[in-house]
Structure 1
Amino acid sequence: MTAAGPIRARADAVDRLVEADEVMAALQVRVGGAYPGVIAVPALLALVRKVRVQRIALTAMITIEDDGQPLSFRASVAPADDGTRIAITEWRLAASAWGNDGSGPDDIALLRHLAEAHVVLDAEQRVISGFVDGVDLLPFADSVRQAFGRYWTDLVTVDGSSHHQPLHWRLLDDAAVQIVGSARRWRARLLPLRNGGFELLLVAETVMANPGTESIAPATSTPDWKGLLGQNLAPALRLPVNRIVANAETIRTRLAGPIAEPYVGYAGDIAESGRHLLSLVEDLAVLETVEDEKFAPAPDQIDLADCARRAAGILGVRAQERNITLALPPENAASPAVGEFRRVLQILLNLIGNAIRYTPGHTTVRVETGFETGMAWLTVEDEGAGINPDQAERVFNKFERLGRIGDGGSGLGLYISRKLARAMGGELHVESAASGGARFVLSLPADASMQASALG
């Protein structure tokens, strides 16, 4: 069951799935349909019927529940003489399929967006399926297609390791790897899934790197502590803490032999503390990057409305779980701005993620965009308890939680987001919304070259 490229299928004149690649045919059966048979995924069936009736090609992101795990993919449907033809890409496990690996959901969502290879593994880290992008990864994509049942480490070279599988996943998480056919360096991230398997993400080191922190040490006897955490301590801490967590989990699950019940709880506490420490180290490393005076985001032409739709798509499953509606800018809306796409997406994942986390269920989170005096702006408004005027600045302070504890946060997200906004020549502030909730406003320099066409 492999899916390294587009998944192809065909439906006849009455919307029956009559031809399909193995992955699509298997999904059709798992969700209760027959093959051949009427398309069993309701959202896909509705899209296919609309294309067949209107005779126009359409594309949509679809999220479903597959064997208890949220799954998302992009379906492109085109009319054909004998029915419709379907192409499915971006076949991925949605965020809420992951277990607790210590990473924040927004951090994981950003990693998944930047990854150029997504490979689903079983509990023994053997390949089940994969989605691979990138021209220099074509040989790797071919390997994934033929690798069903093989260990993923057979497909790459893990730097500094001569061991063979099975190894505990935490000892391979964030490992540097080399891929045949690619001159780029890669990092492997392993995300545990609810069913005991994993999703393997391969992210180019050029993407993982923190720009603006490289500098030549001055000729002085005084140590230069800049970059100590992000460039040196964070990578050095990650491996030993991962080993602590791995050993604690081995003890907790009794893989090393029987132990008394109280010690199972102790091992669980050790593992949880280790995961929290890892998360804090990562937050502090990002904090160090944005506070470096040489930090400078790479300016580019972006569209705030498009960034908002992308961030909401990443967080859509979390919103659905809490019955929260995401009201987004319409597809034809555009808000051209100048900023670094990755950093803007990081800000929006934080703002929309916070709105989903802290607003009551069965409410609406609204995202709007526009222009004003040379600036493009975006607002995220929730229907929660709101933020008092005396808290409006405090909320952007380091480690500020406003009394909230136990939700796994570090209190650094909004501080980092404002630093990023200001580094890109913009601003981030909060105000009271008409609904009584909080309204966060992000502004960035407008892209004058594209603003006229957007308004037109």
Structure 2
Amino acid sequence: MTTDGKLTAPVQGQVDADGLLLSADPLLLRLHLHCGGKEGGPLAVPELAELCRLSRRLGMNLSRPVHASDNESRIEMWVETWLSTPEKAEPLSLSIIDWKEYPQDESEKIDPARERDFDRLEGRGAIRTDAALRIIAQQLSGEAGQDYDVIGQSLLDIYDVIPPSANAGLLEAVAERQPIRNQRMRQKGGAQRLFVLQGNPLIDKTGAFAGYRFTATPDDTDADMVTQGTEPKRPGGKLISDSLFGMQLGPALRQPLGKIIANAETISSKLEGPLRGDYASYAKDIASAGRHLLDLVNDLSDLEAIERPEFTVAGDEIDLVDLAHRAAGLLAVKAADHHIRLDLPDEGAKCPASGEFRRTLQILVNLIGNAIRYSPDGSVIKLRVSTEDGFARIAVSDQGDGIATEDQQRIFEKFERLGRSGDGGSGLGLFISRRLAGAMGGSLTVASEAGKGATFTLSLPERKPA
């Protein structure tokens, strides 16, 4: 086998009705084991296992592209499933006819759990459909796994297009295989959640239309107002949708910035072949600048959201120890680049609290990111949890230059960076974090002395065990 997709023979495997891998050719077995599986155990390649479940659920033979990673390579496959009989208890056969491997450098090796945390941090979910707009995979933000209840159902049976008059435009875009941008959709049923979908058409290896891949971002705009063709207003009558980032420029900027970052990282990692060292360095700088701009767009969008009178947060059951480890995992590479050690609470400890999962993770990522940015190389950042007076607390302490007493309130103001420039910050992170903490019934405080580091403490209402 070569890594350019030219298999000497298809790679075969069999999966039973319970998802157990009954047999596998060496290449498939190697990938299964590298993904954490064991011989005779459940198929451990997530997209491949999902394809098997879908094929069995629909009672159909399917042919799909599948992506996987064994922490050494990114792997792109073309997989065909085959059911010998309509009986669901019979084994399902797999045939992999294309297999391409691309090397990953250390910065690209992100495990699936970290990828899910990035999605949850950004409030982003994913929906995949086939060519008939039937859902073949869905995982919305904040959910632990796939939503199997909707698999096989039409996207338009699960979501209402908002406003209803946009339904024809959506179907026309699908018929013409066009990208779908900024389409508001409301989930039917009791949840009535509102999402903004961004979709790209998928083309299979034969050049045929194979469906859409959507990203789904929660939209806190009042769904009833949008359905009725009106927009919610701020005090004084200004339309929320007239604002700069919330509904218009934010989504429009994220897409090109995402492409710039992805292409620059592809160039800098030399995945497409050799490149002069200085050119690779230029591409790395472009990717870094793109990420800075994207962070600024996200901060401005968050700023706009929290200043809306109707802004609310969820009261999830969360654990601050778990979130500390998740946030640290997202920033592990950045800390390692500066030889900074993150000293975390014992993973077996518990510190239950009430607060929105995504927003709490956002605050902790901001606090740890700031600590890394302003700490000397080779230092230690400590995270400690405690409970007191009905509040669960997590403190992030660094060994940086500290903050003078007269500046300790200024750092929580908009666009305030205490005269620092070129540090990659927007001056909005702490302002947003404190507002989010307050919205969850908690607080964000700082204790510091100049030259002696700083400790930021997030307090949230304690959640008593049931």
TM-score (norm 2): 0.53
Rounded to whole Å, the distance in 1 between the matches of 2:383 and 2:356 is 20
> Cα offset for 1:220?
12
Name the structure 2 match of 1:310: 326
- In the other structure, the counterpart of 2:313 is 297
**What is the Cα deviation at residue 267 of structure 1?**
12
Q: The residue matched to 2:400 in structure 1 has which SS?
A: coil
Name the residue aligned to 1:419: 435
> Is 1:229 aligned with 2:244?
yes
1:267–1:136 distance in 2 versus 1, CA, 3 Å:
same
Contact 1:211–1:295 under 8 Å retained in 2: no
Report the counterpart of residue 372 of structure 1 in structure 2: 388
C-alpha separation between the residues in 1 aligned to 2:176 and 2:430?
41
Does 2:402 align with 1:390? no
Query: CA 1:245–1:302 in structure 2 vs 1: closer, same or farther (change >3 Å)?
Result: closer
Match of 1:109 in 2: 118
Please tell me whether the aligned partners of residues 158 and 175 of structure 1 are also in contact (alpha carbons under 8 angstroms). no
- CA distance, structure 2, for counterparts of residue 243 and residue 330 of structure 1: 36
Q: 2:422 aligns with which of 391, 406, 413?
A: 406
Structure 2's unaligned 5+ residue stretches are 6-10, 40-68, 76-103, 129-137, 140-144, 154-169, 201-211, 269-281
Return the alpha-carbon distance in structure 1 between the equivalents of residues 450 and 283 of structure 2: 48
**1:46-445 pair list within 5 angstroms:** 66=72, 96-97=107-108, 109-111=118-120, 115=124, 133-136=146-149, 138=151, 160=173, 187-188=197-198, 203-205=215-217, 208-210=218-220, 223-227=237-241, 228-235=243-250, 237-238=252-253, 279-432=295-448, 436-445=452-461
Say how many residue pairs are matched.
Answer: 325
Aligned-residue identity in percent: 35
Q: Flag structure 1 segments of 5+ consecutive residues without an equivalent.
A: 11-17, 30-35, 37-62, 70-92, 99-104, 120-129, 141-156, 166-170, 191-199, 254-265
Distance in 2 of aligned mates of 1:328 and 1:235: 34
1:137-186 Cα deviation digits (max 9, x unpaired): 7559xxxxxxxxxxxxxxxx998466669xxxxx88x76599xxx99967
Structure 1 CA distance for aligned equivalents of residues 379 and 410 of structure 2:
26
Structure 1 distance, partners of 2:330, 2:258, is 30
SS at match of 1:344: helix
SS at match of 2:426: coil
**Separation in 2, partners of 1:390, 1:374:** 30
How far off is 1:344 after superposition?
A: 0.7
Which of structures 1 and 2 has the larger relative contact order (alpha carbons within 8 angstroms, sep 6+)?
1
Contact 1:304 1:335 in 2 (8 A): yes
Q: So what's the TM-score if we normalise by structure 1?
A: 0.54
Contact (CA 8 Å) 1:244, 1:274: kept in 2 or not?
Answer: no
Q: Which amino acid aligns with 2:329?
A: G
8 Å CA contact retained: 1:212, 1:296: no
- After superposition, where does 1:36-51 map in structure 2 within 5 Å? none
Deviation at 1:442, TM superposition (A): 0.4
Q: Which amino acid aligns with 1:410?
A: S
